[in-house]
Structure 1
């Protein structure tokens, strides 16, 4: 059998994987702070007899788009948006779990006073942030979480949000959709990362770009199927020659 079949099938598999990536991006078009995935593939030579003239598509790890999303005003004290580059730090699994990172800043406070992002504890420079009873909460531009209680005249700092500025090329996503480093390390806090209260960052997914990519992939898949038929025809011709 001609090794062209490896080229055809690996190409079709890559296209199906790419379609899944773009479909997931489109599904998160309205998810605050979502970062689009960019699928990657490379060519690998298929070894054979004599001249190695066939190649196959080899999937590589997805990368994450570092492009910033637009920001909208919400007026909510616990909605935060990173200004420029940077990420918030949260705990992956429970308060003592490993760190993960996100641009999403729609935080809440649970019944125990813990600052959370969904089911994940939001991390400060001293660990998970837990707020004592308070009358007013304010998060400053440098990430300081401050509260006002009783007859206090001034805000009292509780902790400071952990903000990091890692290299996006070294980031990937876990099963929960949070960003993690490829080597499992935890970047150091970067005090230069600024935040703005009362704002949320939107997804950085472009619906137009994703739809165009999906249509191009559909055409590429049709081409792979035509090549598959051509490879099948070449195999039949070779078999006939052998029989004759």
Structure 2
């Protein structure tokens, strides 16, 4: 009896973990550049002592991330950028490591740092990009940052830096708990000069809202089945105990 209870209990627990993954995907359906996480379940046999495995538990895991591209959304804002094809924009994560994003809504801080919408420094050819005071800023298709220095004539332009654009192999990438994508080995990626950006656009989320909602509903039904199974096993156990006492 106890075996069935523990198996159903483990299944219910891992169904809740799968629900959390799909719910997070659905909650970020309108987050620019968000890439959905996969969820899968696999059996975990119990191998203790001699003999064969007597039961198998379920375990939910997130084996990877869906790196398909989202649709481009035109914003008309000069500092909104989307990355063409399979490229990425390099940023500096809060722990100092190099991470990658598919563009974003950039801004210049009061101290002149070029930051993403979640305040991560954008990497240039020699480190985080610092921009001097300017009257106008332009982003080139190759990531080059050109400014009209503050107080200068319209024809006076200066190239400040070039955003670090990379194209790593997807098999080398992983998404961390902070939602940022980085190399599995923790190393920095070499720039790829052929990567291009589109100014005035943002990449939308690649979340399939209908598919995620369907998965959430299916998991809810599976959870109910396992709860009912636990109740049924408990009732059978009580009935068996009652019979043993009466005998």
TM-score, structure 1 normalization? 0.87
Contact 2:18-2:60 within 8 A present in 1 as well = no
Structure 2, unmatched stretches of 5+, are none
Alignment match, 1:125 = 125
Structure 1, unmatched stretches of 5+, are none
Question: Matched residues in 2 for 1:86 and 1:110: separation?
Answer: 25
Note the C-alpha offset of 1:234: 5.2
Change (3 A) 1:3 1:190: farther
Aligned partner of residue 205 in structure 1, secondary structure? coil
Report the structure, 1 or 2, having the larger strand content. Answer: 1
Alignment match, 2:114 = 115
Please show how residues 165-204 of structure 1 align to structure 2 within 5 Å. Answer: 165-204=167-206
Note the C-alpha offset of 1:136: 2.1
Q: What is the Cα-based RMSD across aligned positions, in Å?
A: 2.4
Q: Is residue 25 of structure 2 the alignment partner of residue 25 of structure 1?
A: yes
Q: Is residue 2 of structure 2 the alignment partner of residue 8 of structure 1?
A: no
Note the C-alpha offset of 1:84: 1.3
Q: Deviations over 1:156-194 (max 9, x none)?
A: 322111122233344333343222333323222222221
Alignment match, 1:52 = 53
Change (3 A) 1:216 1:240: same
Alignment match, 1:139 = 139
Aligned partner of residue 217 in structure 2, secondary structure? helix
Note the C-alpha offset of 1:241: 7.2
Q: Deviations over 1:189-241 (max 9, x none)?
A: 22222111111111111221111111111111112123323433554466567
